Amino acid sequence: MPWSFTLSLDETTYPLGVVQRTVYALADRLTCLVAQQPGRVSLEVMPLLLAGEGAPSAETARALLYRNLNDFALRERIRLETQGLCEWLARTALKEAGL
Amino acid sequence: MTVLLATDATYRLLPFRFMRLDESDRGLLLTAETGEYLFLSEAQLDQLVNRRLPRHTPLYKDLLARHFIYEIDGHDPLPEMAAQYRSRKSFLFGGPALHLFVVTLRCNHTCQYCQVSRAPLGGSGHDLSAEHARHAVDRLFESPSPVLTVEFQGGEPLLAFDRVRQIVEAVQARNSEERRSIRFVISSTLHHLDEQVLDFAQEHDIHFSTSLDGPAFLHDANRPTPERDAHARTLDGIRRVRERLGHEAVSALTTLAARSLEYPEAIIDEYVEQQFDSISLRPLSPYGFAHSSRQRLDYPMARYVAFYKQALAYLITLNGQGIRLSEGYASLLLTHILTPFASGYVDLRSPAGAGIGALVYNYDGGVYPSDEARMLLEMGEAGLRLGSVEQPLETLLRSPVMGLLLSAGIAEGLPGCADCAFVPYCGADPIEHYARQSDPVGHRAFSAFCQKNMALLQHLFRLLRDGDDLTQRVLLSWLARRRLADLPVPGYRG
């Protein structure tokens, strides 16, 4: 019987976009159902059926999820703090191409 | 979400991405938007983003110099960052520089993995007409690029040598006015070389590219001919080209079928024996007969990556022994990592190189944005045709197909890629994703393109971080295209 568990996450710490990017990144190993409640995002997690014997254990999956959630939350923080700079760079660098 | 920005710190963050390579104390790879990189520990990353980096430390200075941070009252780094970014994307400014002419689909080989779905030797309806060739030359010169590569593809282009001749002569006649820098390459088995071809190639400075899959037992198994002498005839062709046109006038690349993966050293030894100075270890692609025979020929990308690492280690050992042989894909990845310059390789660009960097004039008079797009035609997928060779270039590049490819062809905006630390060095390949996943965007977690590039880039970064002196110098020699012995040694001589 494949394992499953549910994480209930504080949406302030892990906004929906962060959760979605985490789920996307781990899609080759885990199947996740994402649901929103007021102030919370819940993840129902189970191993990807296609992963077969390469599927992680529940303990490994939990560690993998939290590490990736924290990493994507940090990436989102960096993105917000540097917002606009990437677009400025591309616009300035490529303006001679009419872009 | 409310973000509180610290205002009492001396520095601010510039855009960067990070990736966990391993659990070591330099296990986090940070890459700046301009492509510069650093290895940090988790504690150092925490200090960095929380504005607790001590100011006069070597790490602080490195982060400042490599555009991960800037000082609030200090030097403005944005103009030089824009200049670096512009260099990295310089391929956008010139228009399509690579123009492929598929002069025929006919071929006398029966390669198991044939990507182009060749036509029989005596087949009809698979040759580029003279009229379409004339129009294609007009399209070529509508590209504003001052540097152009004209590459003849097939099938076997030498089976339609009269068409090759027509196109070369027309291009050179027109170029007496246009004055572009033009290079001609014929991709050929070299089995149909004769003195007429060699005379013409010598007169017009034409180079050749051929396939050499390894020693005879591998090459002949992959590329059978009725006489079972494909390897011998290819070597003879290489010898004849070198004798007439010079050693550098012919290059070779491998295609790796499943059995090839058991013999990395043997394949490399063959290239050493044939005195090549570059080898390209490229995996099977999802086109043509390689797709229809995939049960027999194909392999998981992880298996290719294991092969590649073993081959790379062997290459580094050989280079240390004084043998000059670089690996083509590693060399272009190193260009992307260690320089701010584009490599010229259209299949690893963002925005994707299809159409923007390359155009294919197919034997049927259709124009395609890449070689792979015209291969899909033979698999029943005609949806990536830009238009007819009779249409102006501007019309072709405004095709809805180009809109589709560009909307899926900017890695910085694709799911998965947007967060990836390797995005400055990687690219988008909407046509491969369309071929494999029926979706030009594709899902990164199931992408063979992503799996390959991720694994190879991680491996190269680990070598750059942890490799011994020999490894570092060999990789640098490939980047510099110089012999290992010719690389300057840092520090004082003697």
> What CA–CA distance (Å, rounded) separates B234 from A36?
63
Does residue B363 contact residue B103 with C-beta atoms inside 8 Å? yes
User: Closest by alpha carbon to B324, among B282, B281, B272?
Assistant: B272
Residues of chain B with confidence (pLDDT) below 70: 1-8, 115-117, 123, 286-297, 490-494
Confidence at residue B379, expressed as pLDDT on a 0 to 100 scale = 75
User: Is there a contact between A79 and B92 if contact means CB atoms under 8 Å apart?
Assistant: no
Tokens of B327: 């690996």
Residue B449 at interface with chain A, using a CB cutoff of 8 Å: no
Chain position carrying tokens 């698999």: B379
Across the range A61-82, mean pLDDT stands at: 97
Class of the CATH-defined domain A5-97: alpha beta
Nearest beta carbon to residue A21 from set B16, B83, B419:
B419
3-class DSSP state of B273? helix
What number of other Cβ atoms are within 10 A of residue B25's Cβ? 12
Of B291, B282, B348, residue with least CA distance to B116: B291
Report the SS3 class of residue A66: helix
Q: Is the peptide bond before B351 cis (omega within 30 degrees of 0)?
A: yes
CA B412 and chain centroid, separation: 19
User: What confidence tens digit (pLDDT) does each residue in A9-48 have?
Assistant: 999 999 999 999 999 999 999 999 999 999 999 999 999 9
Mention every residue, 6+ apart, whose C-beta is less than 8 A from residue A39.
A10, A11, A12
- State how far the Cα of B92 lies from the Cα of A97, in Å rounded to an integer: 7
Q: Please report the residues numbered 79 through 138 in chain B whose beta carbons come closer than 8 angstroms to any beta carbon of chain A.
A: 79, 81-83, 85-86, 89, 92-93
Query: Distance (Å, rounded) from C-alpha B129 to C-alpha B154?
Result: 14
**Across the interface, do A86 and B78 touch by the CB < 8 Å criterion?**
no
For chain B, what are the domain ranges? 15-76, 96-397
Q: Where are the domains of chain A?
A: 5-97
Inter-axis angle of helices A16-25 and A58-81, to 10 degrees? Answer: 130
Interval A79-87 mean pLDDT: 93
Q: What is the pLDDT of residues B366-381, one digit of tens each?
A: 999 998 888 888 778 7
Nearest to B419 among A12, A75, A94 (CB): A75
CA B20 from centroid of its chain's CA atoms: 26
Q: What are phi and psi of B152, to 5 degrees?
A: -95, 125
Q: What is the ipTM of this complex?
A: 0.95
Cβ neighbours for B356, distance < 8 A, ≥ 6 positions apart: B91, B92, B95, B96, B349, B397, B406
CB B322 within 8 A of CB B60: no
pLDDT, position B299: 87
List the structure tokens of B3.
């973000």
Instruction: Kindly report the number of other CB atoms within 10 A of residue B75's CB atom.
Output: 8
The DSSP string of B433-494 is HHHHHSSSS--GGG-HHHHHHHHHHHHHHHHHHH--HHHHHHHHHHHHT--GGGSPPSS---
Dihedral class, residue B375 (left if φ above 0, else alpha if ψ from -120 to 50, else beta): alpha
Contact in structure between B168 and B197 (CB atoms under 8 Å) = no
- Check CB contact of A33 with chain B, cutoff 8 Å: no
Three-state secondary-structure class, residue B393: helix
Phi, psi of B165 (to 5 degrees): -60, -45
Q: Decide: B430 and B281 in contact? Cβ < 8 Å.
A: no
Task: Write the DSSP string, B130-167.
Answer: HHHHHHHHHHHHHS--SEEEEEEESS-GGGGHHHHHHH
Structure token digits, residue B326:
């670089």
Please tell me whether residue B220 adopts helix, strand or coil conformation: helix
Q: What is the pLDDT of residue B116?
A: 66
Mutation pick from B2, B40, B85 vs chain A, by most beta carbons of A within 10 Å, is: B85
pLDDT of residue B124: 72
Chain B residues touching residue A99 (CB < 8 angstroms): 92
The pLDDT assigned to A51 comes to 78
A51 touching B (Cβ < 8 Å): no
- Hey, is B278 helix, strand or coil? strand
B97 in Cβ contact with B357 (< 8 Å): yes
Q: What pLDDT score does B493 carry?
A: 52
In angstroms, the first-to-last Cα distance of chain B is: 61
The CATH class that applies to domain B96-397 reads: alpha beta
Compare all CA atoms of chain A with the CA of B92 and give the residue at the minimum distance: A97
B33 touches chain A (CB under 8 A): yes
- For residue B108, the model assigns a pLDDT of 80
Rounded Cα distance, B140 and B145, in Å = 9
Q: Report the helix count and the strand count for chain B, using DSSP H and E.
A: 19, 16
Sole residue written with tokens 């205002």: B7
Backbone angles phi, psi at B448, to 5 degrees: -65, -35
What gap in Å lies between CA B302 and CA B294, rounded to an integer?
A: 16
